[in-house]
Amino acid sequence: MRSTQWADAPEVSLKNTEWLKTLWPYLMEYKGRVLLAALCLVAAKTASVSMPFALKHLVDGLAGNDNPLQAEELWLWFPLGLLLAYGSVRLLSVLMGEIRDVLFGRVTERAMRRMALKVFKHLHQLSLDYHLSRQTGALQRDIERGTNGISFLMRFVIFNILPTFLELGMVIILLLINYPPYFALITLIAVVSYVMYTARVTEWRTEYVRQANKMDSKTHARALDSLLNYETVKYFSAEVREAKDYDESLASWEHARRKNRLTLFALNSGQATIISVAMTLMLSLSAYYVLEGTMTVGDFTLMNAFMFQLFTPLSFLGFVYREVKASLASIEQMLALLKEQPSVANNGKTELNTQQAAIEFKSLSFSYQKERSILNDLSFTIQAGKRTAVVGSSGAGKSTLTKLLFRFYDKNSGEILLNGHEIETLSLDSLRKHIGVVPQDTVLFNDTLKNNLLYAAPNANEEELTRVIDMAQLQNFIDQCPDGLDTVVGERGLKLSGGEKQRLAIARMLLKKPAIMVFDEATSSLDSRTERNINTAIKAVSAGHTSLIIAHRLSTITDADNIVVIDQGAVVEQGKHQELLSRKGHYYQLWQAQKDDALIDN
């Protein structure tokens, strides 16, 4: 069974005001819109509270006079005016709410955009080791839920929870002024009981929401991981196994969702009980006062309208509070991403500007884990404008050098000097602009050949594009594609062969025109003839540029200015090809082994 574990972001417990501090700058970006939306909110709530009073006077006016003539006069004037007033305030309440939503919609959408962009940029600032321990599907899911949670918080907390309490306060004050205090007391007790019950039960069930979210992320990550490795699944006829593993993830998600649903039932049932008891008491008390003669039928109608008007937003408040807690649980992971700090700090201030770069590795030591050392007191120099090759057995630390030079990782000890500058004193952007890398495993964007090439230099012209295509021996391949440079390469470039991807990567690096060229086994997937042609082109284009070649095939680096042999993370030999052969040391043994392998293959 394939593992689904990945390094989770640190658990984040949001304080009550932390979400507001996070979102406050986005609210202040549109102060005018927020103010107008708030005014529309007050107008809508004022109109809403006045509707039951208009209804009361309308009912009393219709039922309060038995004289036919006077009733006719009342029908012509008084009830008609009240009907128009009632319709107007209802329209005003709805219209102000709609205008509020339109005004505030842009604030919400801009906040979602800003936050999503902030997380996206932050993820690109994090170090390679972080991304190697995460699963893309889970990250994507966390960001998606987090931005949706932010939208909910901004729209409903600011314009639903706070307004609901404003309306409740207005209703309680009006009841105290116009009616016996029992009505206000029942209302207050019901509201306090409802809020306390909702808060306590929601806090209890929030953990189940978190579990459901976590299982949702894991399930999504499992599906994405399986689909991205479609060919591997087919190689090992593992469709049934993958479906079984995916179903196990879905079962865990189903279990978490079931707990979530059962706790929701407990919450909704308790809320409905509180509302029903309060409404029964209010209406019973109103009926008693009507029968006693101290209240009119209009007052009874007003109480009934107030109860529906009061407990409808209160019921909605329960929903909003539940969703707010769920939204906070959803954005916890996204905010946790923002709390992640890159292991490679960008503290360098020096800006590098050169076309002739000399590199010196001095007493360099490095390990990915403390238990296993990769580089041990390694030292050698790459002269400016010279081609230096690094060779050695697998696991000797060759490719690690390129990662340290590019500052994907920071060394444990020693120095890496570029034109005499320790690379940690250089800004990351300045350092990386001067280095072009052709990696061992080329990954392309799901875009056209042309756009993948132009990724290195978006403003390159057609002449520059044609030149690097010729250098990388790509023209014949492009001519064979029906859409030419507009051919889409597929996700991660899977529509291309390994050799085609490497040639594309070489052309892309050449288009960058870096001062330092790094080739990490860049021709390992090419046939011998194409390899010779590309090596000739690489030699021509790298003339005058500092070049670091990580090589597996020794035949490709026989003309290098210097060959550095690494064994167990340390330099054991260096020199030119013939010089190293004459020593009959490590290099000689590697050369003989490859010659023997070539004879066996033939």
**DSSP codes, 432-499:** HHTEEEE-SS----SSBHHHHHHTS-TT--HHHHHHHHHHTT-HHHHHHSTTGGG-B--GGGTTS-HH
The CATH code of the domain that includes 40 is 1.20.1560.10
Q: How far is CA 66 from the centre of its chain?
A: 70
Least confident of 1-5, 157-161, 186-190, 248-252: 1-5
- 240 and 388 share a domain? no
What is the C-alpha to C-alpha distance for residues 499 and 246, in angstroms, rounded to an integer? 34
Nearby residues of 346 by Cβ (< 8 Å), 6 or more positions away? 125, 427, 428
Q: Is residue 494 part of a domain?
A: no
Report the amino acid identity of residue 95. L
- 140 and 192 share a domain? yes
In this predicted model, which residue has the larger pLDDT, 82 or 34? Answer: 34
Q: Residues 388-412: pLDDT tens digits?
A: 999 988 777 888 898 899 888 888 8
The sign of the CA dihedral 461, 462, 466, 467 is: negative
Least confident of 64-73, 93-102, 378-387, 545-554: 64-73
At residue 550, φ and ψ (nearest 5 deg) are -90, 115
Asked whether the predicted pLDDT for residue 564 surpasses 90, the reply is: yes
Q: How far is CA 368 from the centre of its chain?
A: 26
Q: What is the pLDDT of residue 67?
A: 41
Q: What does pLDDT average to over the chain?
A: 78
Q: What is the pLDDT of residue 252?
A: 81
Q: What total number of domains does the chain contain?
A: 2
Q: How far is CA 264 from the centre of its chain?
A: 28
pTM of the model: 0.63
What is the C-alpha to C-alpha distance for residues 2 and 242, in angstroms, rounded to an integer? 9
Q: Is residue 267 part of a domain?
A: yes
- 279 and 203 share a domain? yes
In this predicted model, which residue has the larger pLDDT, 531 or 79? Answer: 531
In this predicted model, which residue has the larger pLDDT, 92 or 422? Answer: 422
Q: What is the pLDDT of residue 6?
A: 38
Q: Which domain holds residue 91?
A: 18-339
Q: What is the pLDDT of residue 512?
A: 85
Q: Is residue 13 part of a domain?
A: no
Q: How far is CA 414 from the centre of its chain?
A: 36
Q: How far is CA 596 from CA 77, 462, 558, 563, 599, in A?
A: 111, 45, 17, 21, 5
Q: Is residue 72 part of a domain?
A: yes
Asked whether the predicted pLDDT for residue 519 surpasses 90, the reply is: no
At residue 348, φ and ψ (nearest 5 deg) are -70, 140
Residue range 79-99: mean pLDDT, rounded: 72
Q: Is residue 471 part of a domain?
A: no
**DSSP codes, 548-587:** EEE-S-GGGSTT-SEEEEEETTEEEEEE-HHHHHHHTSHH
Of the three residues 310, 339, 368, the one that is the final residue of a domain is 339
SS3 call for 362? strand
Asked whether the predicted pLDDT for residue 509 surpasses 90, the reply is: no
At residue 249, φ and ψ (nearest 5 deg) are -65, -40
Cβ atoms of 419 and 354 closer than 8 Å: yes
Q: What is the pLDDT of residue 12?
A: 41
Of the three residues 313, 339, 365, the one that is the final residue of a domain is 339
Q: Residues 301-329: pLDDT tens digits?
A: 888 777 777 777 666 666 677 677 777 77
Q: What is the pLDDT of residue 599?
A: 43
Cβ atoms of 417 and 362 closer than 8 Å: yes
- 329 and 372 share a domain? no
Nearby residues of 167 by Cβ (< 8 Å), 6 or more positions away? 45, 48, 49, 310, 313
- 311 and 235 share a domain? yes
- 276 and 163 share a domain? yes
- 301 and 416 share a domain? no
SS3 call for 258? helix
Q: What is the pLDDT of residue 138?
A: 64
Tell me whether strands 516-520 and 562-567 are parallel, antiparallel or unpaired. Answer: unpaired
Q: Residues 227-260: pLDDT tens digits?
A: 877 767 776 777 888 888 888 888 888 888 887 7
Q: Residues 253-291: pLDDT tens digits?
A: 888 888 778 888 888 888 888 888 888 888 888 888 888
- 369 and 238 share a domain? no
Q: Is residue 531 part of a domain?
A: no
Nearby residues of 131 by Cβ (< 8 Å), 6 or more positions away? 123
- 299 and 401 share a domain? no
- 242 and 378 share a domain? no
Q: What is the pLDDT of residue 18?
A: 63
Residue range 408-433: mean pLDDT, rounded: 89
Q: Of all residues in the chain, what percent carry a pLDDT higher than 90?
A: 7
Report the amino acid identity of residue 537. A
DSSP single-letter state for residue 385 = T
Of the three residues 284, 313, 339, the one that is the final residue of a domain is 339
Q: Is residue 478 part of a domain?
A: no
- 104 and 198 share a domain? yes
Q: Is residue 509 part of a domain?
A: no
- 166 and 305 share a domain? yes
Q: Residues 90-117: pLDDT tens digits?
A: 777 778 777 877 777 777 777 778 887 8
Top-ranked range on mean pLDDT: pick from 169-178, 358-367, 455-464: 358-367
The CATH code of the domain that includes 372 is 3.40.50.300
Least confident of 75-79, 184-188, 385-389, 499-503: 75-79
Q: What is the pLDDT of residue 151?
A: 75
